[in-house]
């Protein structure tokens, strides 16, 4: 009877190990590919944004030659770019509006669907035009959504299961965030946040591989400079630490108020 009791947990452990190995063989190589795709997307989107900024600067310099009336040219350029981007989003992919992060999170939770091809094309063109117009638009949210869309397209092409598709979508989004910020830990935190109720070592490792792969691509093509440059500061006095707790609480409350104000 003791042997029967021992065999039960042993067999269960063996089944779990086999399941993990099967997930690892199928998921990890694909996650690495998804990370590379996310890195390439991040680099391309960054290049498009910088090209738009340069074009706008050249137009402004050109407008200086004609005095006050010349500034109609950059105003018209900005209006054209912003209007074209808004038209593309409203006409072809309304879900590509905004940063894209809330929509992708809704997709991961199963609340919405993702028309990956449309979102990828419209977000890239519309986002590039919006930044060229001078609007206050960041690269991080759009890169995350586009990387998730690219991951879904790759998952479909590689005949991934629904569970694998969700894992690759999560890994791709995290890799896009990591590549956009040039900070793999930021992508890993996104993956960890989305997995908080259903943690899986195989899926978490897939997200890790995707973030590292995306970051390597960014380093190779763009460099190692981070998105935010923070100067080195000395460690605060121990007596000042409680004030950091107060600051964190106030920041959290302001975040809640801001989010509710948006909704």
Comparing C-alpha atoms, which of 17, 11, 44 is closest to residue 180? 44
H/E/C letters for each residue in 103-122? HHHHHHCCCCCCCHHHHHHH
Report the distance separating Cα 181 and Cα 163, nearest Å: 27
The confidence band for 5, taking pLDDT boundaries of 50, 70 and 90, is very low
- Please report, in angstroms and rounded to a whole number, the separation of the first and last CA atoms in the chain: 60
Q: pTM for the full model?
A: 0.78
Tell me the domains of the chain and their CATH numbers: 28-229 (1.10.3080.10)
Structure tokens at 88: 């593309």
- pLDDT for position 9: 67
Structure tokens at 65: 């030659």
Report the distance separating Cα 47 and Cα 55, nearest Å: 12
Report the distance separating Cα 18 and Cα 208, nearest Å: 21
- pLDDT for position 261: 79
Report the distance separating Cα 81 and Cα 77, nearest Å: 6
Percent of the chain with pLDDT over 70: 87
Helical packing angle, 2-63 and 72-92, nearest 10°:
150
Write out the DSSP string of 186-224.
Answer: HHHHHHHHHTTTS--HHHHHHHHHHHHHHHHHHHHHT-S
- pLDDT for position 67: 77
Give the tens place of pLDDT for each residue, 87-139.
999 999 998 888 888 888 888 888 888 899 999 999 999 999 999 988 877 88
Report the distance separating Cα 71 and Cα 80, nearest Å: 14
Average confidence score pLDDT of the chain: 85
């Amino acid at each position: 009877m003791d042997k029967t009791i021992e065999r039960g947990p042993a067999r269960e452990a063996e089944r779990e190990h086999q399941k993990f190995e099967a997930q690892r063989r199928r998921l990890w190589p694909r996650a690495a590919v998804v990370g590379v795709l996310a890195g390439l997307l991040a680099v391309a989107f960054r290049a498009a944004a910088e090209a738009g900024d340069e074009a706008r600067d050249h137009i402004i310099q050109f407008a200086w030659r004609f005095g006050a009336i010349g500034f109609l040219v950059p105003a018209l350029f900005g209006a054209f770019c912003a209007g074209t981007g808004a038209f593309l989003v409203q006409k072809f992919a309304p879900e590509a509006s905004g940063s894209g992060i809330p929509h992708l999170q809704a997709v991961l939770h199963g609340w919405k669907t993702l028309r990956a091809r449309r979102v990828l094309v419209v977000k890239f063109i519309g986002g590039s035009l919006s930044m060229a117009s001078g609007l206050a638009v960041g690269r991080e949210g759009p890169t995350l959504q586009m990387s998730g869309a690219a991951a879904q397209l790759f998952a479909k092409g590689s005949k991934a299961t629904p569970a694998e598709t969700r894992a690759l979508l999560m890994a791709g989004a995290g890799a896009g965030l990591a590549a956009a910020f040039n900070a793999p830990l930021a992508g890993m935190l996104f993956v960890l946040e989305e997995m908080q109720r259903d943690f899986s070592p195989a899926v978490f490792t897939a997200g890790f591989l995707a973030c590292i792969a995306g970051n390597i691509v960014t380093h190779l093509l763009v460099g190692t400079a981070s998105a935010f440059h923070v100067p080195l500061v000395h460690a605060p006095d121990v007596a000042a630490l409680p004030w950091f707790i107060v600051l964190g609480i106030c920041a959290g409350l302001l975040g809640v108020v801001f989010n509710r104000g948006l909704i």
